[in-house]
Amino acid sequence: MQFFSLVSVFKFTIAVLAIAMLFQGCDRLSVKDTLDGEEYLLIDQFDDEIAFPESFRGNVMLVGYVYTHCPDICPIITYNMRDVQRALPDEENFMLVSISFDPDRDSPEVLYHYAEAYRINQKNWRFLTGDRREVERLLGKLQIQTVKTPTRFLEENRPMYFIDHTDRVTLIDANGQVRRTYPGSEFHYEEIVEDIRVLLSEL
């Protein structure tokens, strides 16, 4: 009788843990914010106009925030996102988006060559820039903070400065809803791939 009770308690404990894990998984991808109804007019690396996020509606998006002169975190973020892209080569409703918060230097041409330098498949990856006020408005909505260092000038009067910024990657569903954020320079791409597959299964 005592053995039966122990078995029952064990089964009950397992059931409770399973339910807790299920709810934790659901909460992990619960809606945190929404871009539905928002519009940010930007330009991609092909010099095409983009109304973000409407231009990508219907796609699950992994969004990162970088600038091409970044010496440390941004390259890691880009490589991490590239690992995610390579793990999902055949997903038609999956997009990667990198938003530059240095529009003064990151023109569409610069962003295109940046993607080429990282050997990125640009078929489903857009690098966005645009008017500074529009970029800053979007970054504010997505809770990305940036702090520019003092500017010094190099030969030919070229400005040199760096930008401290929030280390984050954002997962946005096909309806423009923010579902999860990750530390951009430290995430485990397998976990993000799993989350993306869950959102793709909702389509």
pLDDT per residue over 75-130, tens digit each?
999 999 999 999 999 999 999 999 999 999 999 999 999 999 999 999 999 999 99
Are 64 and 3 within one domain? no
Cβ pair 142, 107 in contact under 8 A = no
Work out the mean pLDDT of the chain and round it to a whole number: 88
Burial of 1: CB neighbours in 10 Å, binned 0-12, 13-18, 19+: exposed
Where residue 131 sits, what CATH number does that domain have? Answer: 3.40.30.10
Are 20 and 70 within one domain? no
Are 87 and 186 within one domain? yes
- Structural domains counted in the chain: 2
Are 38 and 20 within one domain? no
State residue 19's pLDDT score: 44
Evaluate if residue 165 carries a pLDDT over 80. yes
Are 7 and 52 within one domain? no
Beta bridge partners of 147: 164
Cβ pair 37, 53 in contact under 8 A = no
Are 153 and 79 within one domain? yes
Are 21 and 41 within one domain? no
Are 21 and 35 within one domain? no
Evaluate if residue 191 carries a pLDDT over 50. yes
Q: How far is CA 178 from CA 102, 123, 201, in A?
A: 23, 23, 16
Of 140 and 19, the one with more pLDDT: 140
Structure tokens belonging to residue 90: 């055949």
Are 67 and 110 within one domain? yes
State residue 26's pLDDT score: 55
State residue 27's pLDDT score: 84
Give pLDDT tens digits for 21-62. Answer: 444 445 899 999 999 899 999 999 999 999 999 999 999 999
State residue 53's pLDDT score: 97
State residue 6's pLDDT score: 42
Are 101 and 26 within one domain? no
Are 26 and 110 within one domain? no
Are 63 and 82 within one domain? yes
Evaluate if residue 155 carries a pLDDT over 80. no
Buried b (16+ CB within 10 A) or exposed e, 45-74: beeeebebbebbeebbbbbbbbbbbbeebb
CA 66 to chain centre: 10
Full domain range(s) for residue 191: 31-201
Output DSSP code: residue 72: S
State residue 150's pLDDT score: 82
